[in-house]
Structure 1
């Protein structure tokens, strides 16, 4: 635990945050729905990337009721480009649960928030503190880094012991009120000052409380599993300005992708591109469909002009954006 009074730590932190905290759109609201949307989007995605998606999403689905009524295809299309589509499905399921079970209004109750589909300890706490100003601890990547360095925690933080240490430390530092302000400041410190590789220790408002001997070496995590290399083959089939796509039932469930090929054709691909997915590195090879290529029941012909309306995962969208102009066809995937 920190060897100093928590109140002495909080005062300079809050003063710094009031002067230097960023003006982010989700900090201008206390709407539980908008805050929940931001929290789902910010998981594993940078703030700069999230801002336009967040604003576009709220314009299209302004509340729990509108999102609950939407079909999954529309939800996935609005999420297109953010990746990690399970987040969109979980957010959709949470909205449906709120609309069905609590009258469309998220209750000011941490346990009930945590009971929603796809919501873990951090997200429940974030909504409780940012929407309802509850004094509850939260630990995400930025806060974890700050707390690990503050306490010079040299063991991996992604173990049960590491997580217990971080959450306990967050609880000790937490004030009895103004949880929103405190947690925002702690998170912002990690985002702007206590950086992963080159922490700006000389600019840190709470440096005198930090026990880290080598800040840049912390936090530590367990060794990552070796990356698995995969190769996937897909067909590029055009007919009278229509393109053949199939609906995925696996990695990108519910989204439209180029048709899978069971075997690698004995010819050169039109295009190859690599992309990461969890602990995999996937090479996507796209081959021109031959005259003998036969569509199956999972596949459909779509007008090229309709592509912008379909949920298409980023790697396949990139492939289409490169291949369609070669056929003198529009490749625009404008978000609507």
Structure 2
């Protein structure tokens, strides 16, 4: 294992200390219990947005804390859900009296711990609603989650819903919008190589030199099948075809196309894949209105990519285009 670390058990806390120092104009890192919050929280009259999950997926979620997106993020240990205590603390820190929405990826630990935190915060008088993101079409069930996993669609949801909260929408409206985005977004990924969790010290799985894992999860959990590597056009089709068929997307739809790197894939390859996916969608009569390409929800240093397609309407386009100022995503400010 070759990593730029000190003690494997201190990676998350040391990394977040650096993150907080580098972006002190946007976020504040609270040590005990551990969470990241925007510097101006709580914002008067504004619905608070809290998300979180295991570390190792950076910039998700701390990188999306700031104006126009999340109000707080709660990181757990590497690939491990945060416990309820820091989730409650983060919820309390962003509650201005307008209520708080929890955005939770569909992994058993995340769902259970955020559920318990919502109950505890509710007992303190905070109104909390929850939306569980489950956009991964690769599997229905796995050893890591009950039902579909929450993956790339989480980033798009946090941006769109964050803009709605920033403009002053109330908790019911923000929650309904989050449910709508989740219902209209689909994702699927593939891995060319495994990742190594620091405290494990060895790759999470082994692929042959000529193999890929199709439908892999963001923790390296298995997908639909293991198969031989192929040209980019073929690989894109293996991801895009199940996505389009699942909603289903159809001719006349307007979409946001998100090509995401898993942490170890060059941008040149991601843009190549984007071009293939965009052309394929256009051939189906589906218009790509908005795009996002890059490493936005990763699995440490895993080589691979995921595709996410979100069906848009006029309101979602307006909210996607709205200003945002976070460490990982900025526009209009």
TM-score for the superposition, normalised by structure 2: 0.26
Bigger share in strand: 2
